[in-house]
Amino acid sequence: MQSVPSQAIRPLSLNASLSSSRLPFFSFSLPIFHKFKINPSIYNKSQKVPLFLTLRCCSSGSVTAKPSSEDRRNRDVQEPDEKVVALRRLFSKPGIGIDAYIIPSQDAHQSEFIAECYMRRAYISGFTGSAGTAVVTKDKAALWTDGRYFLQAEKQLSSSWILMRAGSLGVPTTSEWLNDVLSPGGRVGIDPFLFSHDAAKELKEAISKKNLELVYLYDLNLVDEIWKESRPKPPNNPVRVHDMKYAGLDVASKLSSLRAELVGTGASAIVISMLDEVAWLLNLRGSDGPHSPVMYAYLIVEVDGAKLFVDNSKVTKEVMDHLKNASVELRPYDSILSEIRRLAAQGAQLWLDTSSVNAAIAETYKSALDKYRSNHGSKGKIKNKRYDESNGLSEGPSGVYMRSPISLAKALKNPAELEGMQNCHLRDAAALAQFWCWLEEEIHNNVELTEVDVADKLLEFRAKKEGFLDTSFDTISGSGANGAIIHYRAEIGSCSVVDPNKLFLLDSGAQYIDGTTDITRTVHFGEPTAREKECFTRVLKGHIALDQAVFPENTPGFVLDAFARSSLWKIGLDYRHGTGHGVGAALNVHEGPQSISYRYGNTTPLQKGMIVSNEPGYYEDHAFGIRIENLLHVQEINTPNRYGGIEYLGFEKLTFFPIQARLVDISLISDDEIEWLNNYHSQVWEKVSPLVEGSARQWLWNNTRVIHKQ
């Protein structure tokens, strides 16, 4: 699955100034956090900011946007939205006093996939796409989303809403629009738990240009106030221990390495709010939201202790014992701010990753530190001026503002994690073989299947496999023109029937107890056109080129992106998404800090132990889409030379599943590329055939036969 940056997804492209020293392979004997140093000044300046702040107006002069109703001429004019009217009534209540309210897609942890009770933007607007920001003023309501969701938003928004097609000519950003529609002195309210510190800071600076004030409403979320009893309950699913045979490293060892990093930076504690980081560090897993095996929690790790902030009802006796053995104390989930105040009152230097830690935590800490300094005058000891947001000019302790060290440590998979990923990919391939065998037979028998039918049947096959937990994202099942929509989601009532005479793109993945999968295949059930074959073959050539890439250590992912595009570029074609994203081990299907993308701002080197996707594509609007995706493991390559005395790296495949030979234009592919495809299919047969039988085994044999150059 290709991750497209949005404000609902924490950006993977995080710049960091890394030392030139080689980062050793994640092992049991070496510290797992002492692998990099970050220049905080570069880090603070280079953060990507959310969609609603970064997409700039493309034209000069006035900016305009049509109400969604203007594009639905056959639709009756609707009455004012009752939810929006109710929300506006709250603006003038005591203690609120605002002129506009922003409702983002995020939860308090900047998660990609969120629990239903936190889908506030969907509730207030009726738009259910994953990416979007709603803004309600006293007389207007507007929603920003990107090109993946324009059509969906058109269908779902009432006439009360203005659809802002982010990135389109003449469409302002949220802050530009607020600056235009509000009078000077206006107050813009937000729930500070739902904005990262960096995003809130950027918004505050942008609207201050027109003398607008950003107001943090800590004590209540206005959408929740009108949602009331109909709001879904917060998830209450039990947390489970992630077994050592899958985790590969115990909690005590991880915490010990993290504490060594704390000491090295002068921090006395670190606040961890990213859910996958909490889960990885404590070897815990949950099921509080769709697709990602995480639980809603915060974690504070101090030099001499650790506290997990989580709903106690989720904690089983096994988990309690597991945490006790690691000297981790339990605290109520909603007591995080009081603990931040307590630590600040003691002069604690907290390490905060301001790209992910929410503004409520960051501002609470800053205010409490100001109070501490005031009480202690100039007696407060200055430990790390260089990390102070005020450039070290303040007396007393200050925060350490850097990227979380857990991000990179988690990305460098240890041997047990890699073994789990390898094993689950083979079970997943067996499920896919059974599924594709079934699908081709149904299509051959002229059975009418919708895109939703196909996705549901794939889930049935996967669910029968050992260790299956969930899908790792919503399956992208796109026939014909729908395959050209990069993040298409088929829905009952509006999806297409799978057309045997058109290309069919299937991007799917699963969460298993031992690993996470993500695979895309594009097929044709009949006779593809010459155009379709050429485009498919050029995507395949790019896939092979990246798979075979060998590169020196310390190479950032963006350097490799052109490998995957070169064949398309030769005939003037391209695709508008990155080529690869990081993948967690039995965790989030999208993880950083690594990526392979044309976005050259991410300078994180690819390192041994990382897992990335290889997924070039091509999309012809209103016609077809093509994507070929495998997951790869970064490993050392034994080259005959080592120029400069450094290591050279390459990739080892984790995904083993046939690539449809029918779509390959043999005239465009080299002998070496034919050899790659034949060798790959030979490995697929060797690894997967023992796991299937009957018609599925025959299907696998038919689709892994040797291809000859004619």
Does the pLDDT value for residue 129 go beyond 80? yes
Show the tokens assigned to 247: 């985790």
Predicted confidence (pLDDT) per residue in 298-308, tens digit? 999 999 999 99
Distance CA 86, CA 423 (A): 52
Mean pLDDT over residues 87-114, rounded? Answer: 96
CATH number of 412-700: 3.90.230.10
Residues 638-642, mean pLDDT to the nearest whole number: 95
Cα torsion 90, 95, 99, 100: sign? negative
For the chain, what is the mean pLDDT? 88
Which pLDDT belongs to residue 32?
Answer: 59
**pLDDT (0 to 100) of residue 375:** 84
Q: What is the largest CA-CA distance in the chain?
A: 83
Q: Which residues contact 136 (CB under 8 A, 6 or more apart)?
A: 84, 87, 88, 100, 101, 103, 124
Q: Does residue 477 have a pLDDT over 70?
A: yes
Q: Are 501 and 523 in contact (CB under 8 A)?
A: no
Question: pLDDT (tens digit, 9 = 90+) per residue, 313-344?
Answer: 999 999 999 999 999 999 999 999 999 999 99
Cβ atoms of residues 299 and 278 within 8 Å: yes
User: Exposure of 661 by Cβ count < 10 A (0-12 exposed, 13-18 middle, 19+ buried)?
Assistant: middle
pLDDT of residue 3: 62
- Residue 262 CB-half CA count within 13 A: 25
Q: Report CA-CA distances (Å) from 64 to 137, 162, 273, 646.
A: 17, 10, 38, 55
Q: Which two tokens stand for residue 543?
A: 């896939």
Q: How many CB atoms lie within 10 A of CB 398?
A: 26
Band of pLDDT at residue 65, cut at 50, 70 and 90: very low
Q: Note whether 412 and 26 are within 8 A (CB).
A: yes
Of the chain, the end-to-end C-alpha distance in Å amounts to 34
Q: Are 657 and 688 in contact (CB under 8 A)?
A: yes
Per-residue pLDDT for 100 more than 50? yes
User: Which residues, 6 or more positions from 638, have their beta carbon under 8 angstroms from its beta carbon?
Assistant: none
User: Could you read off the pLDDT of 149-172 as tens digits, one per residue?
Assistant: 887 889 899 999 999 999 889 999
Q: Which amino acid is at 101?
A: Y
In a 13 Å sphere around the CA of 299, the CA atoms on its Cβ side amount to 24
CB 470 within 8 A of CB 290: yes
pLDDT in tens, 646-701: 999 999 999 999 999 999 999 999 999 999 999 999 999 999 999 999 999 999 99
Residues 180-211: tens digit of each pLDDT? 999 999 999 999 999 999 999 999 999 999 99
- The whole-number average pLDDT for the span 102-125 is 96
Helix (H, G, I), strand (E, B) or coil at 205: helix
Cis peptide before 593 (omega within 30 of 0): yes
DSSP code, position 78: P
pTM of the model: 0.88
Note the Cα 252 to chain centre separation in Å.
28
Place of tokens 């609603």: 52
Which residues, 6+ apart, have CB-to-CB distance to 245 below 8 Å?
416
Q: Is residue 241 within 8 Å of 284, Cβ to Cβ?
A: yes
Distance CA 60, CA 63 (A): 8
Query: What are the extents of the domains in the chain?
Result: 82-230, 240-374+398-409, 412-700
Q: What pLDDT does residue 167 have?
A: 85
In this structure, what token pair is assigned to residue 142? Answer: 């507007």
Contacts by residues 498-503 (CB-CB < 8 Å, ≥ 24 positions apart) = 498/443, 498/449, 498/450, 498/451, 498/453, 498/454, 500/443, 500/525, 500/526, 501/525, 501/526, 502/624, 503/479, 503/528, 503/532, 503/536, 503/624, 503/625, 503/626
Closest CA to 594 of 565, 628, 625, 551: 551
Coil, helix or strand at residue 393 = coil
* Nearest in space to 616 (alpha carbons), one of 578, 571, 654: 578
Q: Report yes or no: 151 and 165 within 8 Å, Cβ to Cβ.
A: no
| Residue 441 pLDDT exceeds 60 | yes
**Average pLDDT of the segment spanning 628-636:** 98
Tokens 């007393």: give the residue: 396
- Token readout for 340 is 């931040």
Residue written as token pair 């074959």: 533
Q: What is the C-alpha to C-alpha distance for residues 436 and 317, in angstroms, rounded to an integer?
A: 42
Burial of 181 by CB count in 10 Å (0-12 exposed, 13-18 middle, 19+ buried)?
middle
483, 499 contact by CB (below 8 A): no
Fold match between 240-374+398-409 and 412-700?
A: no
The Cβ of residue 492 has, within 10 Å, a number of other Cβ atoms equal to: 10
Check whether 173 has a pLDDT greater than 50: yes
Question: Helix 694-702 vs helix 415-444: angle between axes, to the nearest 10 degrees?
Answer: 90
CA distances from 610 to 47, 406, 415, 558, 607 (A): 22, 14, 11, 15, 6
**How many residues belong to the chain?**
710
Cα–Cα distance for residue pair 343/300, rounded to 1 Å: 10
When pLDDT is cut at 50, 70 and 90, the band that residue 13 belongs to is very low
Beta strands, E only, 138-268: 141-145, 162-165, 187-190, 213-216, 240-241
Q: Which is it for strands 284-285 and 240-241: parallel, antiparallel or unpaired?
A: antiparallel
Is domain 82-230 given the CATH code 3.40.350.10 in the classification? yes
Helix (H) or strand (E) holding 505: strand 503-508
Q: Which fold is adopted by the domain 240-374+398-409?
A: Creatine Amidinohydrolase; Chain A, domain 1 (3.40.350)
42, containing H or E segment: helix 40-46
Contact indicator for 497, 446 with CB cutoff of 8 Å: no
Question: What backbone torsions phi and psi does residue 438 show, to the nearest 5 degrees?
Answer: -60, -45
Q: What whole-number distance in Å separates Cα of residue 476 and Cα of residue 479?
A: 10
The closest alpha carbon to 628, from 473, 518, 490, 480, belongs to: 518
Residue in 317, 57, 333, 83 with CA at minimum distance from that of residue 169: 57
How many CB atoms sit inside 10 A of residue 591's CB? 27
272 near 403, Cβ under 8 Å? Answer: no
